[in-house]
């Protein structure tokens, strides 16, 4: 799919991967609505884009896990530019370290999973009527492997991958395209949440990601995502080594679990030293 002339919504667009995606989409000829819980951050991204490309981006402050705010976001996109062609479900939260409490779990489930489900409910009727639409889910390599440190992050990212798979299977023959982005380390605030938590397990979580492969910039990830959309590829792996890790996990689950426990022990020992 070529994005030139398309209307896109990018959630979590106030910086990081979302901000980079919004800028890259506009450079490639799309018009973009940038949504973020931090309305000022979304406005800053939109202002930087429209300074070079007037009339191509607008910002909306929104909690995209809230169905009423999602409805307003999509309505704003349609009023500004027209029907949404591509929806980037990119907003995400790190979740609590360890098992966590019910409140942070509920937030992680709402933002990392239910926001995707609710957006799909709103978008699918129009997409099916038109016979086309593109849903892009930002999950994580943690959704294919796991995340040392945060149960909520690991579980909700697994769920995001599963939902994207279900959409692709259920609606792929009716013109709906789906991609699922599963990076390892990307230099964003989310990456550093664990090491800034003051918890040894949180620090190990960040170290697990930063030591497993290259830490990419958001701009590098955005370039990879746009290339994948051009190919209409489901699984987007900015770190290609994730695929081999995933294969090893499936080939011998018990060996993989043992290796992950050993890896966690080493990371926790390093955090103490």
Catalytic residues: 153
* Nearest-angstrom CA–CA distance, 47 and 43: 6
Helix (H, G, I), strand (E, B) or coil at 134: strand
- Which residue carries 């692709």 as its tokens? 168
Are 116 and 161 spatial neighbours (Cβ–Cβ below 8 Å)? no
Question: Counting beta carbons within 10 angstroms of the beta carbon of residue 259, is it exposed (0 to 12), middle (13 to 18) or buried (19 or more)?
Answer: middle
**Which tokens is 107 given?**
């937030």
* Nearest-angstrom CA–CA distance, 196 and 70: 31
* Nearest-angstrom CA–CA distance, 196 and 206: 9
> How many helices and strands in the chain, by DSSP H and E?
10, 7
The angle, 0 to 180 degrees and rounded to 10, between the axes of the packed helices 39-52 and 16-27 is 20
Are 98 and 151 spatial neighbours (Cβ–Cβ below 8 Å)? yes
Q: Please, what is the end-to-end C-alpha distance for the chain in angstroms?
A: 49
- Which residue carries 């016979």 as its tokens? 131
The angle, 0 to 180 degrees and rounded to 10, between the axes of the packed helices 67-80 and 115-130 is 40
Are 184 and 142 spatial neighbours (Cβ–Cβ below 8 Å)? no
* Nearest-angstrom CA–CA distance, 176 and 167: 8
């Amino acid at each position: 799919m070529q994005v030139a002339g398309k209307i896109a919504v990018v959630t979590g667009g106030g910086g990081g991967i979302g901000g980079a995606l919004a800028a890259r989409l506009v450079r490639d000829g799309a018009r973009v609505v940038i949504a973020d819980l931090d309305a000022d951050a979304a406005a800053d991204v939109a202002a930087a884009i429209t300074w070079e490309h007037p009339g191509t981006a607008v910002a909306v402050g929104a909690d995209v896990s809230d169905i009423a705010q999602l409805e307003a976001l999509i309505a704003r996109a349609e009023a500004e530019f027209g029907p949404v062609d591509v929806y980037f479900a990119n907003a995400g939260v790190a979740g609590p370290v360890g098992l966590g409490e019910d409140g942070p779990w509920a937030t992680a489930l709402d933002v990392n999973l239910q926001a995707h489900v609710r957006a799909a409910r709103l978008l699918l009727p129009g997409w099916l009527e038109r016979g086309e639409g593109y849903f892009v889910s930002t999950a994580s390599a943690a959704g294919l492997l796991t995340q040392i440190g945060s149960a909520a992050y690991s579980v909700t990212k697994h769920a995001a991958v599963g939902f994207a798979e279900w959409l692709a299977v259920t609606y792929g023959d009716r013109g709906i395209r789906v991609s699922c982005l599963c990076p390892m380390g990307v230099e964003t605030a989310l990456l550093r949440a664990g090491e800034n938590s003051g918890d040894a397990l949180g620090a190990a979580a960040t170290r697990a990601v930063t030591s497993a492969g290259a830490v990419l910039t958001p701009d590098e990830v955005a370039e990879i995502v746009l290339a994948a959309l051009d190919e209409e590829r489901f699984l987007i792996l900015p770190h290609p080594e994730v695929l081999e890790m995933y294969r090893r996990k499936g080939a011998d689950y018990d060996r993989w679990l043992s290796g992950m426990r050993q890896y966690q022990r080493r990371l926790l020992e390093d955090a103490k030293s």
